[in-house]
């Protein structure tokens, strides 16, 4: 039996005022459709068809670019004629899976979860249903279709505007998520008619058609109170982000993570945090970031796909695709660019940028320094204002600084160059050649004074300024 998924992602989201599909709008840094696909994959469903529409090439690009073992294909809905019409566009996909069940989801309802998907399928199969609707019980059902129950299942779904006064009291709503027996869906799908003011084909009509044909129909009430939530505009999207943000923070509070203030704190769903760690305000943890135990992630930190060891202290640090080993102390105002490895016990001070480099154990890079494409040993000291000149305009070269070296203030290391073990460079030097171990390198030009040079330059600049403002 082949159970599969159709995700409806053809909406433009005009009220979002964007030039991309609504399903690609982000919640906690990930497109809403990604949340939906991950829920499917976590439920063990690996055959997915995405129905695209407006700017469909962007959906294609996203699907092709994501890393997943799932088999994901796309089909085009050229005209936006309703949810039923969107599913019709996936007819070929459905006919390839007539021996199984099809899950239909909305690509802009990100809070569907694996437990709900699996629970609904279990009910669907145990009762041999033609259709099982995923529902939610809410305090305020305004705007949602009501699920009308019977003793043995459901009698149908009534849209809010069509409800009787008695039906308006119903708090069980349609989430827009359905399990269909695929063969039964194909039997009724092309019988639905656009008999409504919008002239659209509603997928909910398939439920009524199945009931009329004697197919089993029931509803699974999700324990997830947000399963039906979507967003039609920026306010709605902000609400989704707030819900998701607090859900993740609540999870980590339960795990013993300390938050001194949650203002501006945003943590991705794939982030891992070790016990005893403290998170301060205005911290963003993105992607597959992993943080060890007993860390301090101070104010203003942004970590993306970065691994942090135990007992690390960060303060106003931005790190992308980097690794920081245990007991490092970094910040404030430090950027760690991709492929940077900060080893155990390293100290990095203010206004330092490190890129594609390894900084060895116990090394100190105190302030106002750029280290790029470098291999730095242990117990090295960088003075203020050091820069590695790693790029000649065409190619990049590496700098090597061996253990126990001392790099004086305002030293320029012009790669490729190697500073030997225990060697020193004098402040203000521009080092263009290798320095032997235990040596002192002094590379400064003789001071030359040119009288009245600055006066002539100032006169030329002044004339240029005056000519430009006549």
Q: Map out the domains of the chain as residue ranges.
A: 4-221, 234-441
Question: Would you write out the chain's pLDDT as a tens digit for each of its 470 residues?
Answer: 689 999 999 988 888 989 999 999 999 999 999 999 999 999 999 999 999 999 999 999 999 999 888 899 999 999 989 999 999 999 999 999 999 999 999 999 999 999 999 999 999 999 999 999 999 999 888 888 899 998 889 988 888 888 899 999 999 999 999 999 999 999 999 999 998 778 899 999 999 999 999 999 999 999 999 999 999 899 999 999 999 999 999 999 999 999 999 999 999 999 999 999 999 999 999 999 999 999 999 999 999 999 999 999 999 999 999 999 999 999 999 999 999 999 999 999 999 999 999 999 999 999 999 999 999 999 999 999 999 999 988 899 999 999 999 999 999 999 999 999 999 999 999 999 999 999 999 998 877 888 887 888 888 888 888 888 87
Q: What is the DSSP string of 422-445?
A: T-EE-TT-EE-S-B-TT-EE---P
Cis ω before 332 (30° cut-off from 0) = yes
Nearest to 178 by CA among 219, 223, 126, 213: 219
Q: Is 367 tagged catalytic?
A: yes
Give me the architecture of the 234-441 domain, per CATH: 3 Solenoid (2.160)
The pair of three-digit structure tokens given for residue 91, joined into one six-digit string? 């007819």
Which residue shows structure tokens 């390894």? 358
Q: Return phi, psi of residue 400, to 5°.
A: -120, 125
Long-range contacts of 286-290 (CB under 8 A, 24+ apart): 286/29, 287/29
Q: For the whole model, what pTM was predicted?
A: 0.86
Q: What span, in angstroms and rounded, lies between the C-alpha atoms of 413 and 391?
A: 11
Q: What is the largest CA-CA distance in the chain?
A: 102
Residue 449's SS3 state is: coil
Task: Give the active site residue among 85, 341, 367, 469.
Answer: 367
In whole angstroms, how far apart are CA 103 and each of 47, 48, 134, 152?
10, 9, 10, 22
Query: 4-221: what CATH class?
Result: alpha beta
């Amino acid at each position: 039996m082949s159970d599969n998924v159709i995700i409806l992602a053809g909406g433009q989201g005009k009220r979002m005022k964007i030039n991309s599909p609504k399903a690609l709008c982000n919640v906690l840094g990930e497109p809403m459709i990604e949340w939906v696909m991950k829920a499917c994959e976590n439920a063990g469903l690996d055959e997915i068809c995405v129905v695209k529409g407006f700017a469909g090439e962007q959906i294609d690009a996203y699907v092709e670019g994501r890393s997943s073992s799932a088999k994901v294909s796309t089909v085009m809905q050229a005209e936006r004629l309703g949810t039923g019409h969107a599913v019709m566009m996936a007819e070929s996909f459905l006919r390839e899976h007539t021996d199984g069940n099809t899950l239909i989801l909305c690509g802009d309802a990100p809070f569907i979860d694996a437990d709900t998907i699996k629970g609904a399928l279990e009910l669907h199969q145990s009762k041999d249903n033609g259709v099982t609707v995923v529902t939610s019980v809410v305090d305020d059902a305004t705007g949602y279709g009501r699920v009308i129950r019977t003793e043995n299942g459901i009698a149908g779904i009534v849209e809010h505007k069509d409800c009787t006064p008695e039906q308006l009291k119903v708090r069980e709503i349609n989430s827009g998520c359905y399990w269909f027996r695929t063969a039964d869906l194909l039997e009724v799908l092309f019988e639905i008619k656009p008999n409504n003011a919008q002239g659209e084909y509603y997928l909910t009509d398939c439920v009524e058609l199945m009931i009329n044909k004697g197919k089993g129909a029931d509803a699974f009430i999700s324990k997830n109170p947000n399963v039906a939530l979507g967003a039609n505009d920026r306010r709605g999207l902000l609400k989704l982000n707030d819900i998701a943000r607090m859900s993740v923070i609540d999870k980590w509070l339960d795990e013993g993570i300390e938050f001194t203030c949650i203002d501006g704190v945003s943590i991705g769903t794939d982030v891992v945090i070790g016990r005893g760690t403290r998170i301060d305000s205005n911290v963003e943890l993105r992607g597959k970031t992993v943080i060890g135990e007993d860390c301090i992630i101070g104010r203003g930190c942004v970590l993306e796909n970065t691994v942090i060891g135990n007992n690390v202290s960060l303060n106003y640090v931005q790190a992308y695709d980097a690794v920081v080993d245990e007991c490092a102390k970094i910040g404030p105002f430090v950027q760690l660019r991709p492929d940077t490895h900060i080893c155990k016990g390293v100290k990095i001070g203010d206004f330092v940028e490190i890129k594609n480099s390894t900084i060895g154990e116990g090394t100190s890079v105190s302030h106002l320094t750029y280290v790029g494409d470098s291999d730095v040993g242990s117990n090295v000291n960088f003075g203020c204002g050091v820069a590695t000149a790693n790029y000649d305009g065409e190619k990049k070269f590496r700098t090597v600084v061996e253990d126990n070296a001392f790099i004086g203030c305002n030293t320029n290391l012009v790669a490729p160059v190697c500073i030997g073990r225990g060697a020193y460079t004098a402040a203000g030097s521009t080092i263009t050649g290798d320095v032997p171990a235990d040596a002192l390198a002094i590379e400064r030009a003789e001071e030359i004074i040119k009288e009245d040079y600055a006066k002539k330059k100032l006169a030329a600049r002044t004339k240029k300024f005056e000519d430009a403002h006549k």
